[in-house]
A and B are shown apart, each in its own frame.
Chain A
Amino acid sequence: LAKTTQPISMDSYEGQEVNITCSHNNIATNDYITWYQQFPSQGPRFIIQGYKTKVTNEVASLFIPADRKSSTLSLPRVSLSDTAVYYCLVGPEAAGNKLTFGGGTRVLVKP
């Protein structure tokens, strides 16, 4: 079972880059790493997904080292609207086909 560990909270300021690192020491060979964003009273929203090295889309970048035991979500030039909870997920479990959401990282962007 691939379990993830990420910081509980992070503060930043508008225009800065925010990097959130997630540890997943027990990641399985075929597991993908997926990040979701959740605003209050809304369902989580898919941000980015990757398997190795670097993935970039219009919203974020995902950096995955060669050993894949961690990953870093990078949000460039954040704005106040990026204040949210960010979840790192690994998997799904091969047998259960389900994902496990941890507590996530609360990112607060200040003016």
Chain B
Amino acid sequence: DGGITQSPKYLFRKEGQNVTLSCEQNLNHDAMYWYRQDPGQGLRLIYYSQIVNDFQKGDIAEGYSVSREKKESFPLTVTSAQKNPTAFYLCASSSRGGVNKETQYFGPGTRLLVL
């Protein structure tokens, strides 16, 4: 059963703590993405990766870090530098059907809460 998995579903962070959100895909997609969604708002891009061992900052990368050591995995670390991390985090992957034709497939999301 192909798709994207994210874990955990809920995550609690203490002050000053780094936490890592997992994202795995078995769709054989080259590109992967992390988005943040605040209540009642749209999605904002944090980081994206088009190929293994390469990634680029999105619109709100400050306070976050990523790695892309394997094609299937794109973990996101929320560092202590991110002062307002409470949000719904979504991971996505995509295949390119041609120039500028792209469909993204999303995971179920991780809700991060600060204690």
Contacts and interface: CB of A to CB of B under 8 A. Distances in A.
A41 B87 CA distance: 11
Give chain A's interface residue range (CB within 8 Å of chain B). Answer: 20 to 34
Contacts of B103: 34, 46, 49
A103 B50 contact: no
Interface of A: 28, 30-32, 34, 36, 41-46, 49, 51, 87, 91-92, 94, 96-104
Nearest to B47: A98
A49 B101 contact: yes
B41 A32 contact: no
A36 B103 CA distance: 9
Contacts of A96: 56
A28 B99 CA distance: 11
B101 A46 contact: no
Most buried by B among A96, A98, A100: A98
Contacts, number: 66
Interface stretch (B12-20, B73-81, B104-112): B104-112
Contact of B111 (A36, A41, A91, A92): A41
Contacts of B106: 43-45
20 contacts: A30-B99, A34-B102, A36-B104, A41-B109, A41-B111, A43-B4, A43-B107, A43-B108, A43-B109, A44-B90, A49-B103, A91-B100, A91-B102, A92-B100, A97-B48, A97-B96, A98-B45, A98-B56, A101-B43, A101-B45
A42 to B, nearest CB: 6
Contacts of A49: 101, 103
Most buried by A among B45, B99, B104: B104
B31 interface: yes
Given A30-B100, A44-B104, 19 more contacts: A28-B100, A32-B102, A34-B102, A36-B104, A43-B90, A43-B108, A46-B104, A49-B101, A96-B56, A97-B96, A97-B102, A98-B56, A98-B58, A100-B45, A101-B35, A101-B45, A102-B42, A103-B42, A104-B42
